[in-house]
Amino acid sequence: MPALGLSEPAAYVVVTTVTAVVWSLLTLGIRIFLRLKVNGPFGLDDAACGATTFLGVVNSSLTLYQIHFGLGKHASELSKSAVERAHFWSWLNNMFFVVALALSIMSVCFLIARIIALQKKVWVAYGIAIATGLWAVVSIFFFAFMCRLPRPWIFAKPAHCIHRWALYASVDAVKAVLELANIAPAGMLCWTLQMPLRPKIQIVATFSIRLL
């Protein structure tokens, strides 16, 4: 990394981002293989999963692009124009990130809807998907106008912006609630099946890993 002229923080960003992209693409590849060879057909959950993987790659690519404008360096080391460009790409990337997260949650909702037999419980899954869509719209609105117009991406002056820590914390808190809401129908589904307790716990634990 030093041979490429990258600072140590930027190098960590590159390694983490590239690893995440490769992992995501491999996971999507396994999902496509399973749908084609084991338990098809494709459904809404697969479409949402494919879309969130695509947007995740876009998000990661924009993150790597930000390194060109100084991501990983202290603002005092950069020119004013470089800082403004870095802020713009970070601002734009936030919105891609929110949509990718929303589609990821919706993918789980549609998966649960696919395997739940009772119609009443199916609407629980779709209700969570609709709530997720509303969360995404509201979050994008706040990110888009987080600072004063006409350049809402310039957050170098905190007095002109929404409190950034509070914004990120509230977005993540609601996301965690939506993830918890997805665990509930998965748990109800497992407990109604005639199967040993251990596999039931494993399935619920697998869905719960998303909270991380």
Contact 89, 126 (CB under 8 A): no
Cut 0.95: pTM above it: no
Using DSSP, state whether 27 is helix, strand or coil: helix
Tens digit of pLDDT for each residue in 16-71?
999 999 999 999 999 999 999 988 789 999 999 999 999 999 999 999 998 888 88
208 CB neighbour count, 10 Å cutoff: 15
At residue 60, the pLDDT reads 94
Mean per-residue pLDDT pooled into runs of 10, the chain (212 residues):
72 92 95 90 93 95 88 81 86 93 94 75 88 97 91 80 90 93 80 78 82 80
* Nearby residues of 53 by Cβ (< 8 Å), 6 or more positions away: 24, 25, 27, 28
96: CB partners within 8 A, 6+ apart: 55, 58, 59, 62
pLDDT score of 3: 54
What is the predicted pLDDT for the residue at 154?
85
